[in-house]
A and B are shown apart, each in its own frame.
Chain A
């Protein structure tokens, strides 16, 4: 598959239907700090068809870029019901409440795949950051069911809002807020928690040039739809310890 083209599709801005940023989640999270709503974007597969909750394989890393053309998000169906209303804290003490997973069993979650420690993230070449299945152990964490960053061995509890639980990371991964439509299709609508977008755009200029034709394009907001694929299709090499 031609990744360059795939990435360009992700950033396509052909606004077929004008959809205003979500107001439902905006109200839902108004009471919580650290919430920002972005474009309401539908998740589609590589062929362009909308993805439904029922299409998701359990405990499989899916990646789409959101809220910006170059900011990767990992979406998971954890199989188990997530915790509810988890109180989380940024490194500098700002509090926010993670409401839990979506879908019937509250099992589906999405997180910004930029490590809160030193910004490791999946790229078309490699990925140090991904979800580790429940029955697996890594050097970073003595149990599975966690997001692990193998760059500096931090881990994050996936069913509790990706709270940092081991290694050098000192705050959670930001969450991507999802909405499910009546027909089970999936929309990303906003970002909750201490996102790292500002630092990220500052840090990886050469990379943006390589994958997105430069930083200016990398910083564009994703509109209307975002293509979601499995991590193994998104990246050449998954690195995990």
Chain B
């Protein structure tokens, strides 16, 4: 089957996360037909999981594997899955990578694992009544697992932008950290461009999904431009001076792309003019009192990655969140239960444990959370293994940095529980390959193998 065609005819009805309350930017009023449906009681389930991504699918699958009698429902707004991890290789046009590499149907995992799935968008959560209101009706739960991923905080980052402007920027300079149409827009723009610069902006505010993503993306776009003979640079406007796997990325850029990749520290985006394709920014020293000069930059393609925030579902649930702008869910100590409500759990991007927000970690936290819930339902005492001892290499995260030959870099994280902070914390390590360089072709093979493995885990 040609998935590209399928996608064109709308198999992928991606509502770009309920960012700032807008859904698709067309008719925002409820459709007459959906008004009565939204209030209708649909069903009640023992465990309801919000979000069918890396975290949510893992929780659902693991619960069913532990005990096939568990009654589990996943609520997912998209009817087709698309992966964010590994998707930068699509922008790099690596061999054999196409949309089909990232797009999966939900039919297979539902069939194979026996959980239910409702395709609907969550509109509110009533914790007192243990009800989830969705665009298709009301779902009741005994235990709720929230794995809704991220939203974008354009409003917080650009207070002067109105909704119209935000929508316009999302259309022409998408963030592409939430899988779906944004990735497709960005790929089209890169394929369409002649010579010119590609600008990638890196958020300033604390946590964002997949810390190496902007830098891997810069590497893959540079690889693509080099292959195509496109004249221009990839310019990274980083709001801080932090680069995940920094030494490894910088070594790779210098060796492979020379001045084709330019990384600018402390570049604070002020505004974007999508018409003249100009971005204005200033360099903010860590000492903000030095004053600054406004700089402008022309671009052909802009990947504006806005500040991230917990998906609005978290706010709907009313559970306690951290005071930082991301609003991470406060957890109940060494657990995936929320501090606020013993019947609500959370995994993936949104948790306050300081494990990196990656696909692999969503998978790990999903498995741990399922263990907790399964033991609870079986009325058995249970403590997470991480409470007793450090989990070595709980996370391994690869970033592809070149093509011809394909090479990648990696980071691993050990997880442990900090009594003092009362959260699970992580310690990272970026290893060099035997050649003395950070990148290697073996790691690139591992990247592909990792992705294949985790897709098999979720979808078969």
A binding-site residues for B, Cβ under 8 Å: 92, 117-120, 126, 128, 139-142, 150-153, 166-168, 170, 199, 202-203, 237, 239, 241
Would you give 26 A-B contacts (Cβ < 8 Å), ordered by A? A92-B65, A117-B453, A118-B454, A118-B457, A120-B453, A128-B449, A139-B393, A139-B412, A139-B431, A140-B392, A140-B393, A151-B446, A151-B453, A152-B360, A152-B393, A152-B450, A153-B396, A153-B412, A166-B393, A167-B392, A199-B456, A203-B452, A203-B456, A237-B442, A237-B445, A239-B445
Main SS of chain A's interface residues?
Answer: loop
Beta-carbon contact of B456 and A128 below 8 Å? no
Q: Which residues of A contact B453 (CB under 8 A)?
A: 117-120, 151-152
- Min CB–CB distance B6 → chain A (angstroms): 20
The verdict on A128 contacting B446 (CB below 8 Å), with A117-B453, A139-B393, A153-B412 known, is yes
Residues on the B chain within 8 Å of A202, using CB: 460
Distance of A117 Cα from B360 Cα, bound (Å):
13
Determine which of A126, A150, A203 lies in contact with B460 in the assembled complex, contact meaning CB atoms within 8 Å.
A203
Q: How far is the CA of A180 from the CA of B56 in the complex (A)?
A: 48
A92 in contact with B66 (CB, 8 Å): yes
* Chain B nearest Cβ from A167, distance in angstroms: 5
CB distance from B66 to the nearest CB of A (A): 7
- Contact of B364 with A by CB under 8 A: yes
Task: List CB contacts (< 8 Å) of B419-460 with chain A.
Answer: 429, 431, 442, 445-446, 449-450, 452-454, 456-457, 460
Q: Which of B66, B431, B449, B452 has the most CB of A within 10 A?
A: B449
Closest to A153 in B: B393
Q: Within residues 101 to 158 of chain B, which ones have a CB less than 8 A from any CB in chain A?
A: none
CB distance from B89 to the nearest CB of A (A): 17
Q: How large is the interface on B (under 10, 10 to 19, 20 to 34, 35 or more residues)?
A: 20 to 34
Q: Which B321-371 residues have a C-beta within 8 angstroms of A? A: 360, 364, 367
Known: A153-B412, A203-B460. 7 other contacts (CB 8 A): A118-B452, A150-B446, A167-B392, A203-B452, A237-B442, A237-B445, A239-B442
Chain B hits for A166, CB < 8 A: 392-393
Q: How far is the CA of A56 from the CA of B452 in the complex (A)?
A: 34
Tell me how far the C-beta of B84 lies from the nearest C-beta in chain A, rounded to whole angstroms.
18
Docked complex Cα distance between A202 and B394 (Å):
27
Task: Assess whether B431 is in contact with A241, with CB atoms less than 8 Å apart.
Answer: yes
Complex: how many Å from CA A139 to CA B460? 29
B residues 266-288 near A (Cβ < 8 Å) are none
Closest CB-CB distance, A26 to chain B, in whole Å? Answer: 29
Please indicate the chain B residues that have their CB under 8 angstroms from the CB of A118 in the complex: 452-454, 456-457
Q: With the chains together, A135 CA to B429 CA distance in Å? A: 22
Closest 7 CB pairs of A and B: A118-B453, A239-B442, A153-B393, A151-B449, A166-B392, A203-B456, A167-B393
